[in-house]
Structure 1
Amino acid sequence: MKKTLKAVLAAVTLSLGAGLGAAAFVSPASAEGFPQAAPLIVDYQRLQTQSKAAQDVRRQIQAVQTKFQASVDKDLQALRDEEKKLRDAAPKLSQAERDKRQKAFEDKVAEAQRRAQAINKAISEAVDNAGGKVRDALEPIFAELMTARGANVLLGTNEVIYFDPKLEITTEVLAALDAKLPSIKVEVAPVK
């Protein structure tokens, strides 16, 4: 019985292997209906760092971060001062009063942390929104260049190991993007 089961499993394995081997090679005749790949290559990272819009976004975000950091630093200093006063006053206070003041202080710390998280979230959302505007501007640029060059696939440089430099369109895309979207107004939601 074991010998028969082994023979059946071996036969199944061989037939599956043979089937996979035959399916692994698809001749052009059997690939009818599928177009020949005509790729173009773009360095998306370069677009995100060197375009005028991306540089404008970074400048605006840096200004917002500097402003908010000053506010957070001010809050932190106020909390440090209050903590010192609380520590200095603690020996003179009853346990109930110490607990009450400690709880109020901890609530202020929690509120400062919540505010800092809200600031970070607002900045992150503003960056995401600006990135969406860049992506929206890139779509018709990509489509136009692909049509002009007869391409049907657009790949990023990080997705390709080796390619003919004639396939890369990053410089053209960058010029078109800079002309179409030289700046973006970054809108950071107000944080209370």
Structure 2
Amino acid sequence: MMRKSLHAALLGVALAVGAAAPALAENLPQAAPLIVNYERLQTASKAAQDVRRQVQAVQAKYQAVIDKDLQNLKAEEKKLRDAAPKLSDAERDKRQKAFEAKVAEAQRRAQASNKAISEAVDAAGAKVREALVPIFSEIMTSRGSNLLLGTNEVLYFDPKLEITGEVLAALDAQLPSIKVEVAPVK
């Protein structure tokens, strides 16, 4: 009995919503879209190019440290291998464990370097996104738009609706560079 009353109630709600749908649609504003190529903004802007340049410099610095660690570890591994036949089992195990600890520490530093770079890139990206919001808003208002879509979300559009160049020019003027701050790795 309760099941029938639940079905009846749901049917009543569905009918009421269905009947109100045309009235609701009449009250919605007409879509006035603009289109932007967000990926292009993230790669072609002066700020994005500046971030890439800084990150490449930091990566090169960290890579030099990692390469030096690797070179030192290979040399130590060779010494350990050469000395192993002359060592007691206990001494060999002790040195092997010490070597493995150094390898683990080098791996931890490499991972910490990658994480620090990734976090710095994310922070720089957030600054770009933060700068884009008022630019989008201003252009949308000036063009009477109420909807902004990415080029990836639209199959076909009139090229007059795309504002990427205009946004890019405004972004470059407002944010020509960003200081990438990578946390030091210990």
TM-score normalised by structure 2 residue count: 0.89
Residue equivalent to 1:76: 70
Q: Distance in 1 between matches of 2:183 and 2:102?
A: 22
Give the superposed CA RMSD.
1.9
Match of 1:150 in 2: 144
Superposed, 1:120-159 pairs within 5 Å as 120-159=114-153
The superposition leaves residues 51-93 of structure 1 with CA deviations (integer Å, 9 ceiling, x where unpaired) of 0000000000000000100000000000000000000000000
Q: What does 1:12-31 align with in structure 2 at a 5 Å threshold?
A: 23=18, 27=22, 29-31=23-25
AA partner of residue 165 (structure 2): T
Query: Is 1:184–2:172 an aligned residue pair?
Result: no
Q: Give the counterpart letter for 2:37 in structure 1.
A: D
1:36 Cα deviation from its structure 2 partner? 1.2
2:97 to 77, 82, 103: 103
- Following TM superposition, by how much is the alpha carbon of 1:31 offset from its aligned partner in structure 2, in angstroms? 1.1
- Match of 2:50? 56
Question: Which runs of at least 4 in structure 1 moved beyond 3 Å after TM superposition?
Answer: none
Cα distance per residue 1:38-58 (max 9 Å; x no partner): 111000000011000000000
Counterpart of 1:165? 159
Q: Among the aligned pairs, what percent are the same residue?
A: 80
- The alignment partner of 1:32 has SS state of helix
Amino acid at match of 1:53: A
TM-score (norm 1): 0.86
Question: Which 10-residue stretch deviates more, 115-124 or 31-40?
Answer: 31-40
Q: Deviations over 1:102-160 (max 9, x none)?
A: 00000000000000000000000000000000001100000000000111111100011
Higher normalized helix content (fraction of residues) = 2
Structure 2 counterparts to residues 80-95 of structure 1, below 5 A: 80-95=74-89
- Structure 1: unaligned runs, 5 residues or longer: 1-11
Matched, 1:32 2:23: no
Aligned amino acid, residue 121 of structure 1: K
CA distance in 2, matches of 1:58, 1:35: 41
Residue 30 of structure 1 and its aligned partner are, at CA, apart by: 4.0
Letter in 1 for 2:152: N
Tell me how far apart the structure 1 counterparts of residues 136 and 158 of structure 2 sit (CA, whole Å).
19
Q: Distance in 2 between matches of 1:158 and 1:128?
A: 22
Whole-Å separation in 2 of the counterparts to 1:148 and 1:59: 34
Shift, 1:33, TM fit: 2.9
